């Protein structure tokens, strides 16, 4: 995982999201999830290419059940877009890079 992608946990989630100075796209994923692995390189690219617009973070749903439950994450991958600490967008499933970027920037 890129050092530009922040790894979140149940313990760190609220603090990181609440103190973010720009929107945060959180990838809810699991190690066994094929589509999660499919979008991982795209998120790595976003972490570098879009770093001036938003931050990328990841949360392993198997290790951090409380936050996944709090935000009703039922399918993975799910990307939640947080702005000023609030969810402003939700993307479910793997999508091509262009489609993903369009959906993210549409809610920013």
Residues 6+ apart with CB under 8 A from 31: 60, 62
Q: Which residues pair with 26 in a beta bridge?
A: 57, 80
Cα 33 from Cα 12, distance rounded (Å): 23
Q: State yes or no: is 67 an active-site residue.
A: no
Instruction: Single out the catalytic residue among 8, 33, 91, 100.
Output: 33
Instruction: Single out the catalytic residue among 8, 36, 43, 47.
Output: 36
Q: Give the pairing type, strands 86-92 and 55-60.
A: unpaired
Cα 38 from Cα 35, distance rounded (Å): 5
Q: State yes or no: is 36 an active-site residue.
A: yes
Catalytically active residues, by annotation: 33, 36
């Amino acid at each position: 995982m890129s050092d530009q992608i922040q790894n979140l946990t149940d313990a760190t989630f609220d603090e990181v999201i609440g103190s973010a100075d720009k929107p945060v796209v959180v990838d809810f994923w699991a190690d066994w999830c094929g589509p999660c692995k499919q979008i991982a390189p795209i998120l790595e690219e976003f972490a570098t290419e879009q770093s001036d617009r938003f931050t990328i973070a990841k949360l392993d749903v198997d290790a951090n059940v409380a936050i996944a439950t709090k935000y009703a994450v039922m399918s993975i991958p799910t990307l939640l877009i947080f702005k000023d600490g609030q969810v402003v967008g939700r993307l479910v499933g793997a999508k091509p890079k262009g489609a993903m970027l369009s959906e993210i920037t549409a809610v920013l």
